């Protein structure tokens, strides 16, 4: 009788131990059976986005620090960009691109990119997104909140010590990215003029007092168009592009027949104070070659001044043109 009682007590004791282990295991799993927590990324507001991987599918999801699920484990790849935005990829295939989703799983940026990485380990608010276009690698630049710093597509990007150097074709730019926005430090652009080019090369002191980049590009394009008209047998500007009071002086191409442009650079841009449309004066240092029956070939270096106005639609109208060398030679403007 005593032996049976002892055996019964041992069985009850073993049952209690196994039941305790089961309850503890259930509490520890917290309903996340089949899932392992991969990493916890602190958020800016002191909370955390935790990524976890489902064992059976190998897919990734996200949840809050207290275990509330934010994103179901349906993603092949997840990486926090901030406390509200994650980099995501749907499938494991290398051909499948990555994009951005919100902490609620909403798609913010389409899946276009091959990679998306912080430009600098010390600055997590600048991200370089790389993708293929026309057989070459191109870049978009994002903030940590999933918005673009700038709309342009770049051929190259280098970010160091808070300074961003970007390039597109022959054009190069340098800027500082701050919480207040973009501070442009240098701007170099080339515009085709026949077989040659017009160069705009501006530093930070000049850029501080000049209009936005889109306006500067428009001014450069308008100046190059006019030089093509003078030297490259370009189409004469339409009447709508010419100020009616100075139309005759602006049709200056006949004075440059037989001349070949060699170099041209915009050396100065000044915004004029007017009551009407925004107007800008551009001074260009121009070198061209002239063939004269008496003198033969002659190299001319001169300062040309072109004034343009910009309407509400972004169209440019030429207001005046002058050539310092022609004025000095008594040839008028």
Secondary structure (DSSP) of 76-129: SEEEESSSSEEEEESSS-TTS-EEEEETTS-EEEEEEESEEEEEETTEEEEEEE
Q: Name the average pLDDT for the chain.
A: 85
Question: Which DSSP string corresponds to 266-300?
Answer: EEEEEEE--SSS-EEEEEEEEEEEEEETTTEEEEE
Higher pLDDT, residue 156 or 17: 156
Amino acid 42: pLDDT: 45
Residue 54: what pLDDT? Answer: 92
pLDDT > 70? residue 189:
yes
Q: How confident is the model at residue 14 (pLDDT cuts 50, 70, 90)?
A: low
Looking at per-residue pLDDT, the higher value among 123 and 184 belongs to 184
State how far the Cα of 152 lies from the Cα of 158, in Å rounded to an integer: 15
Higher-confidence position of 302 and 26: 302
Token duo for residue 15: 């049952």
Q: Give the C-alpha separation, 100 to 113, whole Å.
A: 10
Least confident piece of the model among 27-31, 264-268, 296-300, 328-332: 27-31
Lookup: tokens for 96: 């499948």
Least confident of 40-44, 140-144, 294-298: 40-44
Summarize the confidence of residues 226-251 as an average pLDDT: 84
Nearest partner of 140 among 161, 104, 163, 114, judged by Cα: 114
pLDDT, tens only, 246-293 = 888 898 888 898 899 999 999 999 999 887 888 999 999 999 998 876
For residue 139, pLDDT over 70 is answered with: yes
Least confident interval from 10-19, 32-41, 129-138, 150-159: 32-41
Query: How many angstroms from the chain centroid is the CA of residue 238?
Result: 34
What confidence category does residue 26 fall into, taking pLDDT thresholds of 50, 70 and 90?
very low
d(CA 223, CA 264): 10
CB 108 within 8 A of CB 168: no
User: Distance between CA atoms of 157 and 168, rounded to whole angstroms?
Assistant: 10
pLDDT of 29 > 90? The answer is no
Q: Quick one: pLDDT band at residue 187, thresholds 50, 70, 90? A: very high
More confident residue, 285 or 28: 285
Position 144 scores a pLDDT of: 93
Average pLDDT on 152-166 reads 94
**9 — pLDDT class (breaks 50, 70, 90):** low
Backbone angles phi, psi at 13, to 5 degrees: -65, -40
Encoded tokens for 68:
């509330």
């Amino acid at each position: 009788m005593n032996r049976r009682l002892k055996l019964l007590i041992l069985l009850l004791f073993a049952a209690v131990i196994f039941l305790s282990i089961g309850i503890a295991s259930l509490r520890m799993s917290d309903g996340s059976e089949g899932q392992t927590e991969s990493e916890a990324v602190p958020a800016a507001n002191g909370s955390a986005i935790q990524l976890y991987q489902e064992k059976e599918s190998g897919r990734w999801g996200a949840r809050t620090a207290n275990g509330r699920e934010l994103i179901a484990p349906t993603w092949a790849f997840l990486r926090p960009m901030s406390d509200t935005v994650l980099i995501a990829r749907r499938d494991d295939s290398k051909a499948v691109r990555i994009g951005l989703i919100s902490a609620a799983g909403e798609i913010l940026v389409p899946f276009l990119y091959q990679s998306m990485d912080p430009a600098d380990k010390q600055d997590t608010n600048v991200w370089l997104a790389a993708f293929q276009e026309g057989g070459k690698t191109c870049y978009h630049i994002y903030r940590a909140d999933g918005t673009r710093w700038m709309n342009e597509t770049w051929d190259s990007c280098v970010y160091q010590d808070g300074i961003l150097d970007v390039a597109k074709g022959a054009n190069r730019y340098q800027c500082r990215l701050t919480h207040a926005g973009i501070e442009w430090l240098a701007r170099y652009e080339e515009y085709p003029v026949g077989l040659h080019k017009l160069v705009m090369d501006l530093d930070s002191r000049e850029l501080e007092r000049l209009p936005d980049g889109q306006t500067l590009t428009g001014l450069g394009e308008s100046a190059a168009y006019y030089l093509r008209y003078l030297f490259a047998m370009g189409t004469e500007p339409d009447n709508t592009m010419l100020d009616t009071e100075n139309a005759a002086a602006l049709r200056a191409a006949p004075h440059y027949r037989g001349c070949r442009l060699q170099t041209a650079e915009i050396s100065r841009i000044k915004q004029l104070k007017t009551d009407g449309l925004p107007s800008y004066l551009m001074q260009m240092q121009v070198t061209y070659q002239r063939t004269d029956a008496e003198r033969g070939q002659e190299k001319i270096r001169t300062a040309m001044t072109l004034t343009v106005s910009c309407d509400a639609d972004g169209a440019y109208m030429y207001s005046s043109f002058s050539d310092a060398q022609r004025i000095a030679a008594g040839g008028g403007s």
